[in-house]
Structure 1
Amino acid sequence: MRSALDFGNFRRSSVGFDRLFEMLENSNFGGENYPPFDLIKVDDNRYRIEVAVAGFGKDDIELTSQQNQLLVRGQKPDDDGSNYVHRGIANRSFERRFALADHIQVRGADLKDGMLAIELVREIPEAMKPRKIEIGGSSPKHDQIEAKANKQAEDA
């Protein structure tokens, strides 16, 4: 499905954002709104998704986290043996997908009072965290670096 948004001009003048543009182009902006959810930023590295799943129990809901995507799926048995005169509470199955940014991990989930709370944490690996690079003093360090490299090459 192709969206009405065209990111062609932005693609040509950017580097490394291909995945972002693909996600925007493939998003279903006018799609399914069931079940409703809230996205809460707890702090800089913690988030919580709250999904309204009234009528669903723990055994009726399945959570799957795989490769930058969280899938929340709910399915209830069709017939519970009750003789309804009117059925106004939604009992339909659902599937809700959430795209997760890099390094976002699902820590756990809890179901209470018809609200499914999913805890998310951003864990950036140490190698990916910003680090400060010290700049040397007045003596030219690049000459010392080259000398070390040459000495190592001679020793090998």
Structure 2
Amino acid sequence: MSRMPPFASPLLLGFDAMEKTLERISKASDGYPPYNIERIGADRRSGDPEKLRITLAVAGFSEDDLDVTTEENQLIIRGRQIEQEERDYLYRGIAARQFQRMFVLAEGMQVLGASLRNGLLCVDLIRPEPARMVKKINISVSQ
């Protein structure tokens, strides 16, 4: 019996990009650096858009060592420390480690900004409410 991919249903049209996104997510399983995702200032009753904050523990990285970018619907955070050769370590327990952490963003998500404080990189996001759109499709009759 062959296995049918989850988005192969004829009722799911145009979801092949989502299937590729899910494959990318499953491959990115490195646990470094640790991170939190929290909802901040969310008051759904007032109609304010939902705000999220991603906080990464990046102790030892400076602002110049970090790079926060968006590509298509992905938030990509990279950290790259430059190895300092002139040091003479007696013991080295802290490695100059590089990382790349990717987050897939839903349609319409926007990055408000990023800040680095006390070894924590905070990236603030906003999810505006999508406008509900109903469109009437005319039916043509041919004879």
Range into which the TM-score falls when normalised by the shorter chain: 0.7 to 0.9
Find the counterpart in structure 1 of residue 8 from structure 2.
Answer: 11
The answer to whether residue 105 in structure 2 is matched with residue 100 in structure 1 is yes
Counterpart position of 1:36? 34
In structure 2, relative to structure 1, the CA distance for the partners of 1:91 and 1:7 (3 Å cut) is: farther
The CA distance in 2 between the partners of 1:23 and 1:7, in whole Å, is 18
Separation in 2 of the partners of 1:7 and 1:20?
Answer: 16
> Counterpart amino acid of 2:12?
S
Question: Aligned pair 1:129/2:126, yes or no?
Answer: no
Q: Which residue of 2 aligns with 1:21?
A: 19
Runs of 5+ unmatched residues, structure 1: 1-5, 133-156
**Which whole-Å CA distance do the structure 1 matches of 2:28 and 2:103 have between them?**
15
**Max Rg structure:** 1
Distance in 1 of aligned mates of 2:81 and 2:102: 18
Deviation of 1:73 after TM superposition, in Å, equals 1.0
Contact kept in structure 2, 1:7 and 1:21, CA below 8 Å: no
Aligned 8 A contact 1:107 1:121 in 2: yes
- Within a 5 Å distance, the mapping from 1:1-156 to structure 2 comes to 8-12=5-9, 13-28=11-26, 31-42=29-40, 43=42, 45-79=50-84, 81-124=86-129, 128-130=130-132
Give the TM-score normalised by the residue count of structure 2: 0.73
Return the structure number with greater helix share: 1
Runs of 4+ in 1 over 6 A off after TM superposition: none
- Please tell me whether the aligned partners of residues 66 and 79 of structure 2 are also in contact (alpha carbons under 8 angstroms): yes
Conserved in 2, the CA contact under 8 Å of 1:54 and 1:113? yes
The residue type paired with residue 87 of structure 2 is: S
Shift of 1:22: 2.5
Q: CA RMSD in A?
A: 2.5
Q: How many residues align?
A: 125
Q: Which runs of 5+ in 2 are unaligned?
A: 43-48, 135-143
Higher RCO, Cα 8 Å, sep 6+: 2
